[in-house]
Structure 1
């Protein structure tokens, strides 16, 4: 069963964009569990840029990028089925096109320069806003390690599609053996449906900060599960922020589309 429903085929591949960077390899490793869980291929995609034909010497470089990504996937889980693809065009355009038949798009996000206020670059922002399927943005720290450890956090609200967010967050908690941190009061039914998932209950961002100050809970957030209403802000989101998920700018992000 897929973790969520979307307008795309439920049996579509999990797509991950790669560019040879450490952050892209972190995205590959994270995406493997999603592909294996759905029993679909992991489709590794490299955008060639605007040129219709590779530049001299580019073929070797591209082959190396794809080989490293495929190797990282099989190191994470040797049972995963992989596809490797190159496509001409800008990365954002290529991945938006790929999203039309994918069950999930995953990309890496490296730390932004200190003199830039935007949290995410234009490719990530474009993909989060225009993709036809859920989008996972896997953050990396400056030392190259993935920013995915810690709780999976989701805000409960009165939005019509909020149940989809909670369902995804709970599924991710089960898949990754992580605590799910729900920021709201309406959590009883979800706790009963997922009795094997450790859940922390807080009412709002202020309550979360107080909760973390007065307990031994791990303050880190590994993944924030957010909805379409948050995607427009991704291109301009800065630190600090007032989003109810405290620490949202520092963690990886999963954008869910109902």
Structure 2
């Protein structure tokens, strides 16, 4: 049986950059995505006005980081005039994925996501990766990949993307079952370990992954709520939304 292809194949994997450390973490993450999908990595730097003949130091630095992260990556560098959120929403129309960086949240009163991520959550036409940077400068992506199983239309696409990321990143995927009629919900007192028959995986096998959630793959309902979410309420993914996020649009 051939390997499952990544969902939502487009013309490129797009990453928005602004010279920040968080953006460079997003470039590293996006470079692996582009190589895995056999697509170019399109590095986009949006500027508010035409700088004339001024050299753009942001793009060469981002290109160098991408080439170090994945030697075989094919890079396209673009500087364009406009607000980053408008530019990246437009780029999403022909992208397999849009990636951006996000700094750590230092206080609960801060918005859950910034203006660019909020605009992409509302209007992107492809999945959006928001790669969170920790206070020490490292990318918050090194834990398990978590996804919620629901009865929502399109949930299979969300889970498909989570499984793809688990294979690509070498991470365990934690599936949280919230389906109304699932066996887990019928028998909440029974501990369940899910293993696909014929996969060669054994019960209790140590995955070697950190228990902390490094990436939450979420569907349209959570993505729609993010721009207006000020104080996170109870969510089945522990650590959400302060981990890195992969938003799957409606």
Q: TM-score range by the shorter chain?
A: 0.7 to 0.9
Equivalent of 1:88 in 67, 81, 86:
81
Q: Give structure 2 stretches of 5+ with no counterpart.
A: 185-191
**Given the alignment of the two structures, is residue 3 of structure 1 paired with residue 2 of structure 2, yes or no?**
no
Contact 2:43 2:78 in 1 (8 A): yes
TM-score, normalised on structure 2? Answer: 0.84
Which residue does the alignment assign to 1:244? 236
Shift in Å at residue 237 of structure 1? 2.8
Which of 66, 69, 86 lines up with 1:73 in the alignment? 66
Cα distance in 1, alignment partners of residues 229 and 135 from structure 2: 19
Q: Tell which deviates more after alignment, 24-33 or 138-147.
A: 138-147
The answer (yes or no) to whether the contact 2:93–2:124 under 8 Å persists in 1 is yes
TM-score, structure 1 length as denominator?
A: 0.82
The CA distance in 2 between the partners of 1:237 and 1:223, in whole Å, is 18
Aligned to 2:21: 22
Which structure 1 residue ranges, 4+ long, deviate > 6 Å from structure 2? 196-200
How many residue pairs were aligned? 232
* Paired residues of 1:181 and 1:199 also in contact (CA < 8 A): no
Inter-CA distance 92–186: structure 2 relative to 1 (3 Å threshold): farther
Aligned pair 1:229/2:221, yes or no?
Answer: yes
- CA root-mean-square deviation: 2.6
5 Å matches for 1:24-39? 24-39=23-38
Distance in 2 (CA, whole Å) between partners of 1:127 and 1:234 is: 11
Please report how far the alpha carbon of residue 241 of structure 1 lies from its aligned counterpart in structure 2 after TM superposition: 2.8
Aligned equivalents of 2:11, 2:171: Cα separation in 1: 26
Contact 2:142 2:210 in 1 (8 A): no
Task: Give the drift of 1:236.
Answer: 3.1
For residue 158 of structure 2, give the secondary structure of its aligned residue in structure 1: helix
Q: Are 2:17 and 2:45, in contact at CA under 8 Å, matched by a contact in 1?
A: yes
CA–CA separation in structure 2 for the residues paired with 1:197 and 1:140: 32
**In structure 2, how many angstroms separate the alpha carbons of the residues matched to 1:27 and 1:74?**
13
Unaligned runs of 5+ in 1: 201-215
How many Å separate the matches in 2 of 1:39 and 1:199? 34
